[in-house]
Amino acid sequence: AKIADLEKNMEYLSTEINATVDAIAEMQEQMKRASENREAENADFQQTVQDHRLTQIILRKALDRMSKVYAFLAMKEQPGAAHTALSGTDVDPGNGPARFTKYEQHAGGSRVVAMLETVLADSRKMEDEAHASEQDSQAAYENFMKDSNKSIKQGGETLISLAEAKAAAEASLSMAKEDHKSTLTELEGLNGVLGDLRKSCDFLVKNFDARQSA
């Protein structure tokens, strides 16, 4: 019964060791995939930020140029034709002051500027959101790696304990088998002695009967 119990314990310990090894290997694989995903996400983030910043540069240049053009057109005055007549008539102002007409700002100009400003604001907002998302993803990745390393360390400690327990169980099993073998050998020896004693007893009984007859 002792040997059977020890063998059962050995089987249990072997199963636990294999399960712990598999768990550590799976955790390491998850960490590898997490690192690969994090690297890909960061590359996407870098590209997104680069694209938005390039867009913002282009939009700011366009807005600056358009603002200057529309401001210039709004302020510029167009002179009328000079007159040299000495007296005016119904159809000719004569030598009265020349007439000036202002350039009017294009009706769609302000709408275009407003649209570009909206697009610029959206690009800035999306860049800020990308930064926030990147920070959250990096924090989650770091926490996952920290927890995973902790789990792997605990798994390693568990493996050491299981290995020590298995070694002790193997030693106990070996001793139990040796004791069992010694016991069997001793029993065999006792059986031999018992057989010899029976023979001696039989001889003595026979001799005793013979002596009594004599």
So what's the pLDDT on residue 106?
53
Q: What is the pLDDT of residue 92?
A: 52
Residues 6+ apart with CB under 8 A from 70: 105, 106, 109, 110, 113
| pLDDT, tens digit, 9 for 90 and up, residues 9-21 | 888 999 999 999 9
* DSSP assignment letter at 104: P
The larger pLDDT score, comparing residue 45 to residue 71, is at: 45
In a 13 Å sphere around the CA of 26, the CA atoms on its Cβ side amount to 8
Beta bridge partners of 77: 102
Which residue is it, tokens 């059986």?
A: 191
Interatomic CA distance for residues 193 and 195, integer angstroms: 5
Average pLDDT over residues 180-190: 66
Largest CA distance in the chain: 196
Mean pLDDT across 18-27 = 94
Residue from 168, 158, 134 nearest 44 by CA:
134
Mean pLDDT value of segment 118-126:
95
- pLDDT at residue 139, rounded to an integer: 97
Does the model's pTM come out above 0.75?
Answer: no
pLDDT attached to residue 209 = 59
Q: Does residue 173 surpass a pLDDT of 80?
A: no
Average pLDDT of every residue of the chain: 79
| pLDDT tens per residue across span 71-111 | 766 666 444 444 444 444 555 554 544 444 444 445 556 78
Interatomic CA distance for residues 160 and 25, integer angstroms: 16
% of residues, the chain, pLDDT over 90 = 44
Query: Scanning the structure block, which residue is given the tokens 């009594």?
Result: 212
CB distance 66 to 126 below 8 Å: no
Q: Report angle CA 181, 186, 189 to the nearest 5 degrees.
A: 130
